Amino acid sequence: MTLPKLSVLLPNYNHAQFVGQALQAMLTQTVQPMEIIVIDDGSSDNSLQVLEAFARRHAHIRLLRNDTNRGVNYTLNRALREARGEYIYGAAADDQVLPGFFERSLRLLARYPQAALCCSFPSRIDSITGTVTQHALSWSRHECFLPPERLATVMRGSAVPGHASIARRDALLEVGGWNAELQWFTDWYALQVIAFRRGVCFIPATMALFRSSLASYYSTGVRNWELQSHAVEHLLSRLQSPECRDVTGLFQKSGVMAEIGLDAVRVLAIRPELRTPLVLELLRPSILNGAGRLLKDRNRRIRAGAAALIGEFGSAGWRSLPRLVAARGDSDPAVRLAVAVATGHVFGSEDRAGKRLAARMVVGTLAASHYLLRHLKVALRPSAAWLFQALHFRLYGRADRLERDFVECGSSFVKQREQLWRELQAFREELEVQTIDNRDRPSQAA
């Protein structure tokens, strides 16, 4: 089988510690890519010396340099323009591919050329301890092709992993490559879109490792709320654009938006202009499960916005009723007003007189009762401890007595069985003696 051509794109910025390991893992693959395009993004450590040493020894490594630090998305787009392969692997200088990754992926893609990409498990390696954590996806037990509808059905909230995916170059160009406005969500967005358009090949195994570190580009970005909120805003705007209209239904069906989760709900709380019907449906599970938690956020705008989000869903927001009731005593009047309006929407929806709302009100009351009883249990635990200890001692005493009764009964049974066996043996011996006597008696009479 003739395998398609692969181009590896490897941006590097101050990763001299890991980039050599990443390159060595690629160079020991059973199937080599046609080219490995390495672009140094203005590193200030000794990365260039490491990269130049590899480039001298291996002709298919193309080493390029940015004149200054331009960022990972700019660097990847430059490498994408330089690439000549039919398929692209967007690598990271601190990640690691495992043996057979290129060969197994390309063979499966050759069998299913209609697929947008091939991916495997999103497993990780700890940057400090080197511990590998397996993250299995239950999409399939065997190597297969998953068309878009089937993929959305089996994803169940998990996403196509960027570090373990080899994608078609033309499909990536079709979505604009790596969009800088999306920051660390850019590869996530691009891969989900092309997967929902063309389907994916899937390998149920760990074939590549993402290096988890608090100092990584992704981890640093998501901890900065200002940058994270801008990235989420751009992502939500992009999902509402005409270019995504053909895949938004599969985004909703797959539940993949759960990966953004609470941060997206927090953005919607402070950006009401983004609360379009489409976005509310995309984030419906995250809003219903997470908005109640935001009623305790330190930012009053987020608290008020979270209440408004709950009210958007009417009676479907019944599960947040205990938190809404608790938030009625908020110190900010704007939050109290938003909570009152949201509570009115939950109770005043069009099916108010129906059994559905009545059932939900009962469940909400039970939930509030459970919340109250849980706190009472914590408060009363010291005074009720003696009762627990007494019951425990009494039950333990009864169990211990029962065990002794069983032991005594068992011993008695064994003794009786042995006595019975001895009596049976004596009876058999007596029978044998009588049989011999009866047999000898006629001969003596003769």
pTM: 0.76
Q: Where exactly does CATH 1.25.10 map onto the chain?
A: 260-349
**Beta partners for residue 7, in sequence order:** 35, 88
Q: Where exactly does CATH 3.90.550.10 map onto the chain?
A: 6-235
Packing angle of the helix pair 300-312, 333-347 (nearest 10 deg): 10
Q: Is 301 exposed, middle or buried (0-12, 13-18, 19+ CB in 10 A)?
A: middle
Mention the CATH class of domain 260-349. Answer: mainly alpha
pLDDT for 444 equals: 45
Give the chain's radius of gyration (CA, Å). 35
User: Helix or strand or coil: residue 93?
Assistant: coil
- Structure tokens belonging to residue 8: 């590896």
User: Helix or strand or coil: residue 28?
Assistant: coil
**Phi, then psi, of 119 in degrees rounded to 5:** -135, 165
Nearest CA-CA partner of 276 in 244, 231, 228, 322: 244
Would you say 100 and 118 are in contact if contact means Cβ atoms under 8 Å apart? no
pLDDT for 178 equals: 93
Would you say 137 and 204 are in contact if contact means Cβ atoms under 8 Å apart? yes
Would you say 194 and 178 are in contact if contact means Cβ atoms under 8 Å apart? no
Nearest CA-CA partner of 233 in 188, 281, 265, 259: 265
Averaged in consecutive runs of 10 residues, what is the pLDDT profile of the chain (446 residues)?
A: 93 93 96 96 93 95 94 94 96 94 97 97 89 91 96 94 96 93 93 97 96 76 86 92 92 91 92 92 90 91 93 84 84 90 74 50 58 62 51 51 56 62 70 64 47
Tell me, which fold does domain 6-235 have in CATH?
Answer: Spore Coat Polysaccharide Biosynthesis Protein SpsA; Chain A (3.90.550)
- Structure tokens belonging to residue 426: 């004596």
Triad 106, 136, 95: Cα angle to 5°:
60
Distance CA 312, CA 223 (A): 29
Strands, E assignment, 41-86? 61-65
Nearest CA-CA partner of 96 in 252, 209, 253: 209
Nearest CA-CA partner of 88 in 99, 74, 71, 102: 102
Q: For 137-188, what is each residue's pLDDT tens digit?
A: 999 999 999 999 999 999 988 999 999 999 999 999 999 999 989 999 999 9
pLDDT for 323 equals: 86
Distance CA 181, CA 179 (A): 6
Q: How far is CA 338 from CA 309, 318, 333, in A?
A: 10, 16, 9
Strands, E assignment, 77-219? 87-90, 96-97, 117-119, 124-126, 132-133, 144-146, 165-168, 200-202, 208-212
- Structure tokens belonging to residue 427: 């009876």
